[in-house]
């Protein structure tokens, strides 16, 4: 799969357990950005190591928390964060 390359997002989050969404997160994060993978994948995903190395990307992983994940999503869409 050839991904479209966009640059500019400081943080991307993959919360929906679909490998394609993780594939999208990688090329759209900016240099020095962060990818948060908070889902439990039932199938393998591909980590393109050339992207984190070339762009100094931080990747964190954790299992989705049924309490804090909805709160995080609500906060992210509430307008309280100055996301640009």
pLDDT (0 to 100) of residue 64: 66
φ, ψ dihedrals at 24, nearest 5°: -70, -40
pLDDT value, residue 26: 86
> Is the pTM here over 0.85, yes or no?
no
pLDDT value at residue 52? 66
Average pLDDT of adjacent 10-residue blocks, the chain of 84 residues: 62 82 87 85 80 80 74 79 66
Q: Give pLDDT, residue 45.
A: 83
Neighbours of 2 (CB within 10 A): 5
Type and span of the H or E element at 73: helix 68-77
Identify the CATH homologous superfamily for domain 9-77: NAD(P)-binding Rossmann-like Domain (3.40.50.720)
Distances (CA, A) of 21 to 78, 79, 80, 82: 22, 23, 25, 23
């Amino acid at each position: 799969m050839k991904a479209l390359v966009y640059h500019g997002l400081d943080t991307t989050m993959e919360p929906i357990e679909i490998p394609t969404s993780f594939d999208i997160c990688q090329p759209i994060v900016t240099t020095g950005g962060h990818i948060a993978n908070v889902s439990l994948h039932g199938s393998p995903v591909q980590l393109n190591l050339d992207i984190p190395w070339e762009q100094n990307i931080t990747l964190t992983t954790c299992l989705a928390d049924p309490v804090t994940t909805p709160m995080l999503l609500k906060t992210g869409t509430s307008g309280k964060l100055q996301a640009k």
